[in-house]
Every structure is written in structure tokens, then in C-alpha cells.
């Protein structure tokens, strides 16, 4: 019997030489040594002069304070660990008068509801939230699988569009997010960060489709108002800009989670699809999102988190592959809920995901046969163990 301990689930695709990230990750690039950009960023991060970066941040914040608007900035929040930490930094450290803005995915866990309300009370901020109708979310969740290969288009789109709509409506030009795209995505590094923010940023990065492209016989354009971006003219007239705190301050989401947990009473809970209990704890459908990524690209959130722990020196690469295989391949219980609200059978769901996988891995080593063989063999080995 071949010993596969510490080996990747799919041996015929290329992985980062240092962590567990595969070539199928969107925007993946490796250097001449076979190291991914996220690993390159982790090396750069310890050599950055964060004191100078923080001065740059302070200069930006002081400028927007000097405008004397009703609010200095918008902080898009979900109640998750990152947005809670953002509120701490911006209100307690820098004294910003912030308007908190939430696009509700409508899939809040009880822990998520608590965390959102708790942070609003602890930081004493004004808050605006939009919740789309349940029936629209259900219909979009079905269309989302066809269009982008996961269940969450309405969330990807809404978290970008609604804060921008609010910025234009309330005339607040500065929006501030948390983690830098250089932190773990593999699409940028700290030396070459993605600093350009425009009205199409979130569509290009995560939503992938504009509202007009989601319209079908079951979804009307009239229903899509919360997902429509402000006009180019309105954006330019106000001078809307967005920044990520992680481009200016040293970002360590696990230490930050411990801080908001211990100081502000933020709560962890079990999260499907990973071995950590804090990322996307607010969403009951996080496991479905990450499982579709696994079915489409051959890795899920377990790989994301295990790779981060390798970069932090907490796991060996072999230990990380084992954790990733275990969590990525698990069918999330929330999939039953997703199937019930969309009307898909599980066979139909899997058929759609096979089509997405074929597009993502065309010409690569993750054929349908290779995918199924590897997953079935691993699951069988776990049953025997």
C-alpha cells in the first residue's frame, strides 16, 4: 500500500513549493522557485517598515477627517472578526466618526447575529443595513451556481455595491476594508499590492457578474437595485476611494481574533469546511461556499487555513496537506439547506460543478476521472482508519 501521508490530494497538479496552494487557485502565480505570491508576501511582510506604512495611513485618515463631513468614513461590516477589529482600530485608535454599513446575506448564524449586535453596541456607531428578500436570495443562490460556480453571488455583489451606494447617498467618499488582497489570495504581494479601487473592484475580484447578467425568467432587473453600482459620474463626482487596513498595518487575523474575543466579547463557533472556528462564523452557508470551491478548483478553506499556518511556522507542509484533505473533502451539512432553497437535486448540483471544474482545469491534471478517483480513495481510507 502506497503511503500518501503528507501528500497532496491531487498529485497531477502543481502546488506551491512552500505551502499547499494549487495552480488552480484563481490568479495563481509562482516564482522561479515554485513559490506562490501569498508565500512571497509572508516573507516580504516581516521586512516592511510598518511604521512608515502607518504614517501613510494616518495621513489619509487625517485628510478625510479634515473634510468635516457628517461621517469621516464608511466601514463595511459583517460582525466577523475582521470588521470588529476594523471598528476597534478606526474608532478607538484613530478617532474616526464612522458609519457602519452591512449588506445582509440573510444567512446569519445565531453567533453571527450576536457578534454583529455586540460590536455595534461596544463601538457605539451608527449603522445602516440592507437585507434582500428571502425569495430573491433563494433564486439568486440557484442562478449563482450556474453563473459563477458557488452559492454566494448575492453576497459577493452586495458587499461591494451597497456600501458604495451608501457612500454616494450620504456623501462619504472613504470606504475602509480590512485584510489586504496581498495577505492570502495569491493575486498580489505586499511589494506589489492592489491599491487601485474603482466601482468595478468587487465585481472583478469576487462577484464576476453584473446584476444584468443574473436576470432570467425567475429574476427581474427591477429586483436587483441593491446590487447595482452607482454611476461612474456619481463615483467620480464624490471622489469615492477605498483602502484596506492590511496594506498599512501588520495584519495577523488569528491574533486579532483573540484580541476582539478577549477584549470585546466576540464569539467563535464551529465553521464547516475548516479546522478553525472563526473565519465566516457569521454565515451558515460558509461551508457550501468552500465546498463548491473544492469541487471547482480542487481545494477549499481547509487548504487556505493550512497554508496560512505553514507560512506562520505553525504546521509543516506535510501536516498541512493532511488537515486540508480532511476538511476540504467533507460534505457540509449546510448543503442540504442549499438544495432545499434552490430546488436542485444533489446530482444536479454535482453536474453543474463538474462543468465549472472542467472550465477551470481545462488542459490540466484535474480531470473529472482523476478528481473522483482521488476523493473516493481518500474518503475510503478515512472510513477504514
- Look at residue 360 in the predicted model and tell me its pLDDT: 85
- CA dihedral over 52, 57, 58, 63, signed as positive or negative: positive
Q: Identify the bridge partners of residue 127 per DSSP, sorted by sequence position.
A: 100
- Buried b / exposed e over 340-364, threshold 16 CB at 10 Å, is ebbebeeeebeebbeebbeebbeeb
| Per-residue pLDDT at 220 exceeds 60 | yes
- CA dihedral over 45, 47, 48, 50, signed as positive or negative: positive
Cell of 143: 442562478
For residue 280, give the 3-state DSSP assignment: coil
Mean pLDDT score of the chain, rounded to an integer?
Answer: 93
pLDDT tens sequence across 94-122 = 999 999 999 999 999 999 999 999 999 99
| Per-residue pLDDT at 227 exceeds 90 | yes
- Look at residue 341 in the predicted model and tell me its pLDDT: 98
pLDDT tens sequence across 126-168 = 999 999 999 999 999 999 999 999 999 999 999 999 999 999 9
Question: What is the pLDDT confidence band of residue 382, given thresholds at 50, 70 and 90?
Answer: confident
| Per-residue pLDDT at 192 exceeds 80 | no
Residues 6+ apart with CB under 8 A from 207: 148, 153, 156, 157, 160
| Per-residue pLDDT at 289 exceeds 60 | yes
- Look at residue 1 in the predicted model and tell me its pLDDT: 46
| Per-residue pLDDT at 323 exceeds 90 | yes
pLDDT tens sequence across 207-216 = 899 999 999 9
Query: How far is residue 183's CA from residue 170's CA, in Å, rounded to a whole number?
Result: 31
* Predicted TM-score (pTM) above 0.75: yes
Give the Cβ contact number of residue 200 at 10 Å: 14
- Look at residue 186 in the predicted model and tell me its pLDDT: 59
Cell of 31: 516564482
pLDDT tens sequence across 19-66 = 999 999 988 899 999 999 999 999 999 999 999 999 999 999 999 999
Amino acid at each position: 500500500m502506497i503511503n500518501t501521508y503528507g501528500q497532496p490530494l491531487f498529485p497531477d497538479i502543481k502546488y506551491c513549493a512552500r505551502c499547499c496552494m494549487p495552480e488552480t487557485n484563481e490568479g495563481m502565480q509562482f516564482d522561479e522557485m515554485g513559490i506562490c505570491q501569498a508565500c512571497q508576501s509572508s516573507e516580504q511582510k516581516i521586512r516592511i517598515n510598518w511604521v512608515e506604512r502607518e504614517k501613510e495611513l494616518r495621513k489619509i485618515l487625517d485628510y478625510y477627517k479634515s473634510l468635516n463631513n457628517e461621517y469621516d468614513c464608511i466601514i463595511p461590516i459583517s460582525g466577523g472578526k475582521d470588521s470588529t477589529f476594523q471598528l476597534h482600530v478606526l474608532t478607538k485608535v484613530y478617532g474616526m466618526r464612522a458609519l457602519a454599513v452591512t449588506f445582509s446575506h440573510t444567512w446569519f448564524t445565531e453567533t453571527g447575529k450576536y457578534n454583529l449586535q455586540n460590536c455595534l453596541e461596544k463601538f457605539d456607531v451608527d449603522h445602516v443595513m440592507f437585507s434582500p428578500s428571502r425569495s430573491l436570495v433563494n433564486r439568486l443562490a440557484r442562478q449563482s451556481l450556474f453563473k459563477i460556480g458557488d452559492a454566494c453571488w448575492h453576497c459577493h455583489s452586495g458587499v461591494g455595491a451597497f456600501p458604495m451606494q451608501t457612500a454616494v447617498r450620504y456623501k462619504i467618499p472613504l470606504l475602509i476594508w480590512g485584510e489586504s488582497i496581498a495577505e492570502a489570495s495569491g493575486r498580489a504581494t505586499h511589494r506589489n499590492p492592489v491599491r487601485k479601487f474603482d466601482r468595478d473592484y468587487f465585481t472583478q475580484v469576487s462577484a464576476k457578474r453584473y446584476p444584468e447578467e443574473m436576470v432570467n425568467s425567475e429574476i427581474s432587473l427591477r429586483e436587483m437595485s441593491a446590487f447595482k453600482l452607482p454611476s461612474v459620474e456619481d463615483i467620480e463626482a464624490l471622489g469615492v476611494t477605498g483602502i484596506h487596513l492590511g496594506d498599512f498595518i501588520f495584519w495577523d487575523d488569528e491574533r486579532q481574533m483573540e484580541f476582539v474575543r478577549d477584549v470585546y466579547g466576540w464569539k467563535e463557533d464551529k465553521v464547516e469546511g475548516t479546522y478553525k472556528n472563526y473565519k465566516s462564523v457569521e454565515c451558515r452557508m460558509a461551508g457550501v461556499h468552500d465546498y463548491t470551491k473544492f469541487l471547482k478548483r480542487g481545494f477549499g478553506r481547509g487548504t487556505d487555513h493550512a497554508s496560512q499556518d505553514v507560512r506562520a511556522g505553525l504546521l509543516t507542509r506535510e501536516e498541512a496537506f493532511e488537515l486540508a484533505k480532511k476538511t476540504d473533502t467533507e460534505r457540509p451539512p449546510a448543503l442540504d439547506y442549499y438544495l432545499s432553497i434552490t430546488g436542485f437535486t444533489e446530482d444536479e448540483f454535482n453536474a453543474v460543478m463538474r462543468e465549472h471544474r472542467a472550465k477551470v482545469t481545462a488542459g490540466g491534471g484535474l480531470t473529472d476521472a482523476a478528481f473522483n478517483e482521488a476523493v473516493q480513495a481518500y474518503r475510503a481510507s478515512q472510513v477504514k482508519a
